Amino acid sequence: MTGDDWSIPDWLSVSRETHDRLQVFYRLVCKWNAAINLVSAASLQDGWHRHVLDSAQLLALSDCDHGLWLDVGSGAGFPGLVVSIMAGQDRPGLHVTLVESDRRKATFLSEAIRQLGLNANVYAGRLETFTVVNAAVVSARAFAPLDKVLAVAERHLSQDGTALFMKGQAYQSEMTVANQNWRYDCDVVPSKTDANSVILKVKKVRHA
């Protein structure tokens, strides 16, 4: 296990039960990681902060309380399963679908959903073969360059939906490339967990 401080920061408001469930989920990640390499082992030295809390900031950026939240390239469940755990507290009508092409990771996600009793499901396949949906939210973390994830949003996001893309310090370069092909409304939200990262809150994606 890691030496993390598993506390909840002042900027995040969750119940005791939700905090406990987040910890159960994180323990599952740590347990499974030795066998199937969900995330880099080194990142688990500060994994509660780096993965769980990093993901936890997304839910507050959407006012959606029902419908579909589509998380692509879900990996170990960051941010999708963290969002689902937190939504269970105040937004029980919000269903999270996670898309993960790696079968071993998809198996982990399904097991975590089962153990935690989450309102979520996993599509174990490539995004290109996933049926078009009318998602209220599309999220992605460390999945693909902005140009690529905007194509996902354009395909799967509802007309009034919001895309939330977690990006590192190269986000401006990614936007320069993406702007050649796409038009979109975008708010750049500073990350609460990493001074070098941002969350791009995107709406109204259309081809340039």
CATH annotation of 16-207: 3.40.50.150
SS3 of the chain: CCCCCCCCCCCCCCCHHHHHHHHHHHHHHHHHHHHHCCCCHHHHHHHHHHHHHHHHCCHHHCCCCEEEEEEECCCCCCCHHHHHHHHHHHCCEEEEEEECCCHHHHHHHHHHHHHHCCCEEEECCCHHHCCCCCEEEEEEECCCCHHHHHHHHHHHEEEEEEEEEEECCCHHHHHHHHCCCEEEEEEEEECCCCCCCEEEEEEEEEEC
pLDDT at 89: 87
Which residues of the chain carry a pLDDT beneath 50? 1
Q: Where are the domains of the chain?
A: 16-207
pLDDT at 123: 98
pLDDT tens-place string over residues 108-137? 999 999 999 999 999 999 999 999 999 999
pTM score, two decimals? 0.96
